[in-house]
Chains A and B, each alone.
Chain A
Amino acid sequence: MTSWGWVVAGYAVTTGTWVAYVVWSRPGRRRP
């Protein structure tokens, strides 16, 4: 993988983590 490939992977994982956390912590979320 190129040097930029590692950077893009890192930013994608970080963005995914935050989006998942924001969805999970949404007040009023329906519980399983």
Chain B
Amino acid sequence: MHSTDRLLGAAAAGSFAVAAVLGLVVAPPDGVQGQAQRLMYVHVPAAWLAYLCFAVVLVCSVAYLVRRDLHWDRRAQAAAELGVGMTALAIAMGSLWGRPVWGAWWVWDPRLVTTAVLLLVYLGYLSVRGLSDDRAAGARRAAAVGIIGFVDVPVVHFSVVWWRTLHQPPTVLSPDPAPMDPRMAAALFVAVLAFTLAGAWVVRRRLQMLAADDGPVPAVPVVAPAEPLVVAPRSRA
């Protein structure tokens, strides 16, 4: 394993351990929601990492369409896979949090619905890749979906501002951040850091596998033989 991967993996594991202690022990329970609010320390980082992954998909998709280099396509694919996993995790954690606090696993709320649409868009992104046997055509179509699909990310983020919603408004990424207990803020910050480091680590590992699937780039271009092959006529003797 590459030394950068080892370092990233160790940093991710260490920050996960610190985040667990901060989130489960050090941070106080919420005055209204009680202990269930601790789910914020896994729900918010999952949503943050999903946003980050889809931003990477956007940048790499544009880079692929400009450069037509499969390196960019593989980066977009690896980021999209993790983004889909993190979106599903954010929805699952929101559901586990909603049941004790809202009294419902799911409500047809703008934030929840736009997040579900986000999950479907990027599942579509991954599906589009396999529609053609032509590797470049699949990458081109996926890049188009990866660019257009990103439109839903700001819609998800601002859904709690634009529409009447049960979901709470942004706490940190807001022009007017809500005051937060410093222990809660520390737990959230370290959890976001842990998710980000772990995301970078697994995407790097995944890229190695995707690169192996595409095979090595030939060092010299494959060209036709300069001289046509001549088959000697069979002797009639």
Contact = CB atoms under 8 A, between A and B. Distances in A.
Nearest to A14: B42
A29 B43 CA distance: 29
Interface in B30-53: 34-36, 38-39, 42-43, 46
Interface residues of B, number: 29
Nearest to A25: B206
Given A3-B100, A13-B96, A29 B89 contact: no
A9 B96 contact: yes
Contacts of A26: 205
B100 A27 contact: no
A12 to B, nearest CB: 10
Identify whether the interface residues of B are mostly helix, strand, loop, or mixed: helix
A7 B209 contact: no
A26 B39 CA distance: 28
B205 A17 contact: no
A27 B205 contact: yes
A18 to B, nearest CB: 6
Interface string A9-32: 111011001100110011111000
Contacts of B38: 7, 10
A17 B20 contact: no
Contact of B39 (A10, A18, A21): A10
Interface of B: 16, 20, 24, 29, 34-36, 38-39, 42-43, 46, 82, 85, 89, 92-93, 96-97, 99-100, 198, 202-203, 205-206, 208-209, 212
Interface of A: 1-4, 6-7, 9-11, 13-14, 17-18, 21-22, 25-29
Closest 4 CB pairs of A and B: A3-B35, A27-B208, A25-B206, A14-B42
